[in-house]
Chains A and B, each alone.
Chain A
Amino acid sequence: MYKLGIDVGGTNTDAVLIDEKLNVVEEVKQHTTANIYDGILNALRAVLTVSGVDRREIGQAMLGTTQCTNAIVERKSLAPIGVLRIGAPATRGIPPMVDWAEDLKKVAVKTAVISGGFEYDGKELAAFDEKAAAAFFRELKAEGIMSVAISCVFSTVRNDHELQAMKLCKEVMGEDVHVSISSEIGSMGLIERENATILNAALYKVAQSFTEGFARSLADEGVTNAQVYLSQNDGTLMTMDYARRYPILTIACGPTNSIRGAGYLSQIKNAIVIDVGGTTTDLGVIQNGFPRESGVSVTIGGVRTNFRMPDVVSIGLGGGSIVREKSDGTVTVGPDSVGYQITEKALCFGGDVCTATDIAVRLGMTELGDKTRVQHLDEAFARKALAAVRALCEDAIDAMKISSEAVDVILVGGGSIVLPEDLAGTKSVTKHKFGGVANAIGSAISKVSGTFEQLIDYNELPREKALEKARAEAVELAVAAGAIRETVEIIDAEDVPLQYYPGNTCRVKIKAAGDLA
């Protein structure tokens, strides 16, 4: 049996086939198309044709896509929704979407804040106002709304009211209605969690179209025996059904997949991964085989959210970055780039723009294009340009580190030829021949996971017992998501003391992941 991984990026759609032992059988790169679907189909056809594998032998197919991000940023294909918050009498001071841009705010046709919710310790803040919720759902139904975002105060501690509201919503509006609840999406911080939930609800049509599109293209190409999955941004997979319910969790799966793919190819579990593209370079961190999560709020299309995202920094450096000499003799690289036009515009390909790639060719770091076309470049100029590339890269590595200790670095991406391999602050720099499609590989080798998060008072439940309970809960969540129980491991654990609480209250968060059944 084979695994098929596809990653839709801004410029390229990559596809890889991997065998049972997780060896790369074939890799292809195609241009991403405006409608996405054609690009996926092209990549799929190419990888199947070139490899010649029996299509019925493909047991799993995974897709990583940027469509949700695009939809939010471009305000396209977002569905009209209803927004319900359970939390009155608290929270009324901040109406939903209070600081959103007007054009994006319009996705919410109706909003309501009703009684209910919990205190930090799980005590009920107010009783859930079932009547008000039912009335709100009836109004939404009358408006023809098909998607509802529900959030609740401290639903990360107890989600009973959100679950009651979801049940009621389906009773009133029908089983087909798409319901997003905040406890499944975000973490502590009502407003950011609610924001993420609203975006998720508004993405349901986008999710429908890319899940159906992927399934259709697989069926059209005769890949009929495959279980189909979508990549999430924590490096694990979700089923098509789950992706339709939680499309927002696909946001930023591209960098995540490339981090995971890099870790897999190099067999290094802890490192900084540098993914050099044509225009930008993404730096991420792989920790125990999974991407490090961002500790700060993440803004998507101007909306502040708090759902998990990989900790990634992007810098304006890539294979197509334009190199210039200033009048004072200093040399700059980027941040502007010839991008995907590199094969026409770069000197080594017969163009007239000096790019970072040309510098690498001039200095003999790589064999690419026609090296005679860059021989006229002054070596001192080329060395200065390389020094500029080095400085950009070393600064960014430094920003990702958590201490001054030297780290391992893995270089991936098509543009990684422009980087020197002796970088300050590193103990090793690794490259792999399949590094160019690390993202599609990351998609193909993903696991499934479950995360457990709760406030626990260690004076009531001693720390060891509390963590044990939390670990068990996380494993159950991973199994519920489709993991084989025997393969499930705890991949992340944290407990943060909350200073103002009485006793010894900590926020405990455990994540477990395992291989697909």
Chain B
Amino acid sequence: MRKIGIPEIKDIALGAALLGAGGGGDPYVGKLVAIGAVQECGPVTLLDPQEVPDDALVVPIAMMGAPTVLCEKAIGGSEYQALYDIVSTFYGKPLYAVMPIEAGGVNSMLPIAAAARLGLPMVDCDGMGRAFPELQMVTFTIGGGSATPMALVDEKGNSCIFRTVTNKWTEELARSVTMSCGGSVSVSLYSMEGKMMKEYGVSGIVTRSQKLGSAIRRVKEATDETPEEAFLRITEGYRLFKGKIGDVLREVRGGFNFGKVVLDGIGEYKGQSAYVEFQNENLTATVEGKLLATTPDLICLVDTETFTPVPTDALKYGKRVMVIGLKCFPLWRTKEGLELVGPRYFGVDTDYIPLEERCKGGCGDV
């Protein structure tokens, strides 16, 4: 158990941008929502998953809708109480704690605001360890969990709760309600008992995010190693490539951003070329024709000077980036995990081979 205040929120937001693996949206507005809540209601208690009783009700909190709308309407502040009321009424018991459903982007921040405003603790755990684009892509799906009953509330005070037959229906209905409510709503989904959270959740992810953020912020302070060495050591990142963006190809299909960024090597990679493919998040990294990393391992692009993460929507010609690979949560590497988020699910015709094995025999350093 420890407290999360404003300095911690800033680091977590920076780490969340990295764990977004190119997607997840800009955590900026989420950060302001979290800071606003903590300024008004005080710091948040972060619980280790092991501190949560097996039968306690734990509720992930997120936003659904268009990030551009969130940037305009933000959060009213009373949504979380409305979520609490509808969910606790539904289950007939009080909520024990909230948690994030994903560690990347804006949704990493909103549960902090919810915890502050509800006076509840937040659990140091999520269902992805990164960001993914679809509703069912959480570790709890492997454990038999379901997004439904999913509760939605808007800032005007409207609320509803869905009991749906499949996650696909949840997504379908939630999208309609979101649009009717003005394009951005607060939601709770995958509500679960402590036992499920402990068994399937990505433990310690908030702390990891904070550690990553602090590493990026302080990377220039390194003394006995170069900033890059320090960055790779602390993030436990595999350096896959360093290059200048030569071209970015983009396409919007079915609500997702598809694309490919082509890199021309710089520094020790001069003369080599590489590309990274993405669908909201980065999917694959290929250097000199050799596949070095695939989903569900995290592929992140960072600025070569500042090491700040470069999301897919900020990719532009001429930018110098380092491509790094981070190992995903072990449960994603199981057969069930790979069915949900492995390369073949995203249409990449290759078997999943862990990052560290693909990189064996020289792609860079740990």
Residues in A lying within 8 Å of B, measured CB to CB: 87-95, 98-99, 117, 119-120, 123, 125-126, 153-154, 188-191, 296, 304, 398-404, 497-502
Provide the residues of chain B in CB contact with A99, threshold 8 Å. Answer: 31-32, 35
| Cβ-closest chain B residue relative to A503 | B179
Q: How far is it, in angstroms, between the C-alpha of A95 and the C-alpha of B71 when the chains are bound?
A: 14
Option from A120, A191, A403, A502 in Cβ contact (under 8 Å) with B69 = A120
A-contacting 9-mer, from B72-80, B98-106, B193-201, B224-232: B72-80
A-contacting 9-mer, from B54-62, B134-142, B316-324: B316-324
Provide the residues of chain A in CB contact with B66, threshold 8 Å. Answer: 120, 498-501
Q: A125-B73, A191-B29 are in contact. Are A95 and B317 (CB under 8 A)?
A: no
Q: A126-B156, A191-B74, A499-B257 are in contact. Are A402 and B179 (CB under 8 A)?
A: no
Can you list 18 A-B pairs with a CB-CB distance of less than 8 A?
Answer: A90-B155, A90-B156, A91-B76, A98-B36, A98-B39, A119-B182, A120-B183, A190-B74, A191-B29, A402-B318, A404-B247, A499-B66, A499-B255, A500-B65, A500-B66, A500-B255, A501-B179, A501-B183
Mask for B14-52, Cβ within 8 A of A = 1, else 0?
000000000000001101110111011000000000000
Asked if B113 CB lies within 8 Å of chain A CBs, one says yes
Option from A89, A98, A296, A400 in Cβ contact (under 8 Å) with B76 = A89
Q: Which of B74-114 contact A (CB under 8 A)?
A: 74-78, 113
Provide the residues of chain A in CB contact with B157, threshold 8 Å. Answer: 89
| Cβ-closest chain A residue relative to B78 | A89
Minimum CB–CB distance from B40 to chain A (whole Å) comes to 8
Q: Are B257 and A90 in contact (CB under 8 A)?
A: no
Provide the residues of chain A in CB contact with B28, threshold 8 Å. Answer: 304
Name the residue in A87, A90, A402 with the highest tally of chain B Cβ atoms < 10 Å from its Cβ: A90
**What DSSP secondary structure best describes chain B's contact surface?**
mixed
Minimum CB–CB distance from A190 to chain B (whole Å) comes to 5
Q: How far is it, in angstroms, between the C-alpha of A449 and the C-alpha of B155 when the chains are bound?
A: 37
Provide the residues of chain A in CB contact with B36, threshold 8 Å. Answer: 93-95, 98
Asked if B5 CB lies within 8 Å of chain A CBs, one says no
Name the residue in B40, B73, B75, B317 with the highest tally of chain A Cβ atoms < 10 Å from its Cβ: B73
Asked if B333 CB lies within 8 Å of chain A CBs, one says no
Asked if B252 CB lies within 8 Å of chain A CBs, one says yes
Provide the residues of chain B in CB contact with A304, threshold 8 Å. Answer: 28
Q: Are A401 and B317 in contact (CB under 8 A)?
A: yes
Q: A120-B182, A499-B257, A501-B183 are in contact. Are A296 and B35 (CB under 8 A)?
A: no
Q: Are A92 and B77 in contact (CB under 8 A)?
A: yes
Provide the residues of chain B in CB contact with A92, threshold 8 Å. Answer: 75-78, 155
Option from B75, B182, B246, B256 in Cβ contact (under 8 Å) with A93 = B75
Q: Are A94 and B32 in contact (CB under 8 A)?
A: yes
| Cβ-closest chain A residue relative to B154 | A90
Q: How far is it, in angstroms, between the C-alpha of A338 and the C-alpha of B71 when the chains are bound?
A: 44
Minimum CB–CB distance from A376 to chain B (whole Å) comes to 35
Minimum CB–CB distance from B176 to chain A (whole Å) comes to 9
Q: Are A497 and B252 in contact (CB under 8 A)?
A: yes
Q: A125-B182, A126-B156 are in contact. Are A153 and B72 (CB under 8 A)?
A: yes
A93-B74, A190-B71 given; name 11 further pairs at CB < 8 Å: A89-B78, A91-B74, A91-B76, A94-B29, A94-B36, A125-B73, A188-B68, A399-B318, A402-B316, A501-B183, A502-B179
Q: How far is it, in angstroms, between the C-alpha of A14 and the C-alpha of B35 when the chains are bound?
A: 45
Q: Are B74 and A89 in contact (CB under 8 A)?
A: no
Q: Are A95 and B39 in contact (CB under 8 A)?
A: yes
Option from B72, B77, B78, B246 in Cβ contact (under 8 Å) with A190 = B72
Instruction: State the 3 A-B residue pairs at the shortest beta-carbon distance, nearest first.
Output: A93-B75, A500-B66, A90-B155
| Cβ-closest chain A residue relative to B175 | A500
Q: Are A401 and B257 in contact (CB under 8 A)?
A: no
| Cβ-closest chain A residue relative to B67 | A500
Minimum CB–CB distance from A86 to chain B (whole Å) comes to 12
Q: A98-B32, A500-B66 are in contact. Are A403 and B74 (CB under 8 A)?
A: no
Q: How far is it, in angstroms, between the C-alpha of A502 and the C-alpha of B172 when the chains are bound?
A: 12
Q: How far is it, in angstroms, between the C-alpha of A304 and the C-alpha of B73 when the chains are bound?
A: 17
Provide the residues of chain A in CB contact with B183, threshold 8 Å. Answer: 119-120, 500-501
Q: Which of B236-260 contact A (CB under 8 A)?
A: 244, 246-247, 252, 255-257
Q: How far is it, in angstroms, between the C-alpha of A498 and the C-alpha of B75 when the chains are bound?
A: 20
Asked if B165 CB lies within 8 Å of chain A CBs, one says no
Q: How far is it, in angstroms, between the C-alpha of A502 and the C-alpha of B177 when the chains are bound?
A: 12
Q: How far is it, in angstroms, between the C-alpha of A125 and the C-alpha of B74 when the chains are bound?
A: 13
Q: How far is it, in angstroms, between the C-alpha of A243 and the C-alpha of B316 when the chains are bound?
A: 34
| Cβ-closest chain A residue relative to B32 | A94
Q: How far is it, in angstroms, between the C-alpha of A296 and the C-alpha of B72 when the chains are bound?
A: 16
Q: Are A402 and B314 in contact (CB under 8 A)?
A: no
Q: How far is it, in angstroms, between the C-alpha of A99 and the C-alpha of B31 when the chains are bound?
A: 9
| Cβ-closest chain A residue relative to B117 | A93
| Cβ-closest chain B residue relative to A156 | B72
Q: Are B35 and A98 in contact (CB under 8 A)?
A: yes
Minimum CB–CB distance from A503 to chain B (whole Å) comes to 10
Q: How far is it, in angstroms, between the C-alpha of A189 and the C-alpha of B68 when the chains are bound?
A: 7
Q: How far is it, in angstroms, between the C-alpha of A93 and the C-alpha of B113 when the chains are bound?
A: 8
Q: How far is it, in angstroms, between the C-alpha of A120 and the C-alpha of B178 when the chains are bound?
A: 12
| Cβ-closest chain A residue relative to B66 | A500
Option from B32, B37, B247, B316 in Cβ contact (under 8 Å) with A191 = B32
Minimum CB–CB distance from A469 to chain B (whole Å) comes to 22
Provide the residues of chain B in CB contact with A500, threshold 8 Å. Answer: 65-66, 69, 183, 255
Q: How far is it, in angstroms, between the C-alpha of A89 and the C-alpha of B81 when the chains are bound?
A: 14
| Cβ-closest chain A residue relative to B257 | A499
Q: A94-B36, A95-B36, A400-B318 are in contact. Are A125 and B156 (CB under 8 A)?
A: yes
Provide the residues of chain A in CB contact with B246, threshold 8 Å. Answer: 404
Q: How far is it, in angstroms, between the C-alpha of A430 and the C-alpha of B154 when the chains are bound?
A: 57
Provide the residues of chain A in CB contact with B33, threshold 8 Å. Answer: 93-94
| Cβ-closest chain A residue relative to B254 | A499
Q: A94-B32, A99-B35 are in contact. Are A401 and B318 (CB under 8 A)?
A: yes
Provide the residues of chain A in CB contact with B76, threshold 8 Å. Answer: 88-93
Q: Which of B164-205 contact A (CB under 8 A)?
A: 179, 182-183
| Cβ-closest chain B residue relative to A455 | B68
Q: Are B247 and A403 in contact (CB under 8 A)?
A: yes
Provide the residues of chain B in CB contact with A499, threshold 8 Å. Answer: 66, 252, 255-257
Q: How far is it, in angstroms, between the C-alpha of A120 and the C-alpha of B244 when the chains are bound?
A: 37
Q: Are A190 and B65 in contact (CB under 8 A)?
A: no
Q: Are A90 and B71 in contact (CB under 8 A)?
A: no
